[in-house]
């Protein structure tokens, strides 16, 4: 059997994934064993929301059946057990991304994590001006003359919070542009990130282009300018080994529903020395040390950012999802999805009238491909594929500026995961090949 080895991620070679193993994996995902419009389901929309294995479903169900109680608040048996599994889940996720326990914050999703961070940074200036909190807060405050830098390929979740932060503080928002083939203009990045830059936020892997950005290079650029480096890991945490310390980012976010877990759970990673001084985003119970009628004092991270009743069962299920991915091997998953991605892109490029966004076949990308069909709207393409049992994403994928840059309003996107086979990709390609003829384009 062929072996795969990835530098810095494997101490020994491991068997590569193949269709036979993937078919066994599919048995863990009940939703995949159904017919859609009379055809076996081909689910190629995991970039939006992934499916859940039985172990994840059972983990959440078992919590409600055996341990359902409020955490951190009760001395009775169920409350103690609930707290234990809740915090064990935090430790699991911390290890999954190479972080410390105290650096792992529960959120509802990545969008909430980025909003949490942007609001905390805008409040840093207010607290510093009032002499409240740590004296280092002044270094994090933004104001007129400061700059926030993003990229032209960002998902709206990693763009709009920074637009609003710039509006609230008077800072200026700038961006690193992309090339026609969807790569960052790294030749221009050094002239955009500079002494005025206070925040550099960018995606690890584009949800439209499939490109994997040079995180270490960007992080080094940001830190050399004295900026905070924020990583959107939504399309990387589920698909490839992620070590936030090794990547040298200050903050990172990702969502559970894209990595086999339920909706309603996400993670914000932040360096502990930063989290402990940032003003909280939501305030209320469970995140305080002392409260008087005039003011409150707040706990350090992680509780500092976890006001109110938390997403307990979802956190437990997210830990089960992380364990599933770890046991399968993220290096193996990444290699398999890269193979599927190359198969998709090469096949799409061979079909007349198809324009594929992002790197061409043979260039590194994650296992997704967004494309435009000449003369046929993306929504019509999606409905045509659905009629053949193939689930894909259509629209601008929450990346309107990127689509506008590439001269498009909408595209169709197919995104694979560890439960997809080469047969899934081939069925998808065969269907796409018939789109233009069907619509007489």
Instruction: Centre a 10 Å sphere on the Cβ of residue 441 and count the other Cβ atoms it contains.
Output: 12
Q: Known catalytic residues?
A: 398
Contact 373, 353 (CB under 8 A): yes
Give me the half-sphere count of Cα atoms (radius 13 Å) on the Cβ side of residue 428.
33
Q: Is residue 26 within 8 Å of residue 32, measured between CB atoms?
A: yes
> Residues 223, 76: contact at Cβ < 8 Å?
no
DSSP H/E element including 270: strand 266-270
Q: What is the DSSP string of 54-66?
A: HHHHHHHHHHHHH
CA 126 to chain centre: 30
Distances (CA, A) of 421 to 34, 43, 214, 343: 16, 10, 28, 11
Task: Report how far residue 423's alpha carbon sits from residue 404's, in angstroms, rounded to the nearest whole number.
Answer: 33
Cα angle 195, 274, 131; round to 5: 85
Instruction: Assign 42 to helix, strand or coil.
Output: strand
> Rounded to whole angstroms, how far apart are CA atoms 283 and 25?
42
């Amino acid at each position: 059997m062929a072996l795969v080895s990835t530098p810095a991620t494997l101490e020994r070679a491991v068997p590569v994934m193949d269709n036979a193993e993937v078919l066994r994996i599919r048995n863990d995902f009940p939703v995949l064993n159904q017919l859609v419009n009379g055809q076996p389901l081909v689910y190629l929309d995991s970039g939006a929301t992934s499916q859940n294995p039985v172990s994840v479903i059972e983990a959440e169900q078992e919590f409600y059946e055996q341990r359902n109680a409020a955490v951190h608040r009760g001395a009775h048996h169920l409350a103690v057990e609930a707290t234990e599994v809740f915090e064990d889940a935090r430790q699991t996720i911390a290890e999954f991304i190479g972080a410390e326990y105290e650096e792992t914050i529960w959120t509802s999703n990545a969008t909430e994590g980025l909003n949490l961070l942007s609001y905390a940074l805008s409040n840093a200036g207010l607290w510093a001006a009032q002499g409240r909190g740590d004296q280092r807060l002044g270094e994090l405050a933004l104001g007129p003359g400061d700059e926030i830098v993003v990229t032209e390929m960002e998902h709206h979740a990693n763009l709009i919070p920074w637009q609003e932060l710039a509006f609230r503080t008077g800072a200026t928002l700038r961006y690193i542009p992309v090339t026609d083939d969807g790569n960052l203009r790294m030749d221009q990045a050094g002239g955009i990130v500079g002494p005025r830059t206070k925040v550099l936020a960018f995606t690890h892997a584009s949800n439209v282009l499939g490109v994997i950005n040079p995180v270490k290079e960007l992080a080094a650029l940001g830190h050399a300018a004295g900026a905070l480096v924020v990583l959107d890991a939504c399309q990387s945490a589920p698909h490839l080994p992620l070590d936030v310390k090794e990547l040298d980012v200050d903050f990172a976010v990702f969502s559970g529903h894209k990595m086999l877990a339920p909706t309603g759970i996400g993670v914000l990673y932040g360096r502990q020395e930063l989290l402990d001084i940032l003003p909280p985003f939501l305030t209320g119970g469970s995140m305080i040390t002392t409260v008087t009628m005039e003011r409150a004092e707040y706990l350090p991270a992680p509780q500092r950012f976890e006001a109110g009743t938390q997403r307990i069962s979802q956190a437990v299920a997210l830990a089960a999802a992380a364990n599933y991915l770890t046991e399968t091997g993220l290096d193996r998953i990444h290699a398999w999805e890269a193979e599927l991605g190359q198969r998709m892109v090469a096949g799409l490029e061979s079909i007349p009238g198809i324009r594929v966004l992002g790197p061409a076949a043979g260039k590194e990308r994650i296992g997704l491909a967004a494309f435009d069909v000449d003369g046929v709207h993306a929504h019509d393409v999606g409905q045509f594929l659905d009629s053949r049992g193939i689930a894909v994403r259509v629209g601008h994928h929450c990346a309107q500026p990127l689509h506008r840059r590439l001269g498009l309003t909408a595209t169709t996107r197919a995104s694979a995961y560890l439960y997809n086979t080469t047969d899934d990709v081939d069925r998808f390609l065969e269907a796409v090949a018939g789109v233009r003829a069907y619509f007489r384009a």
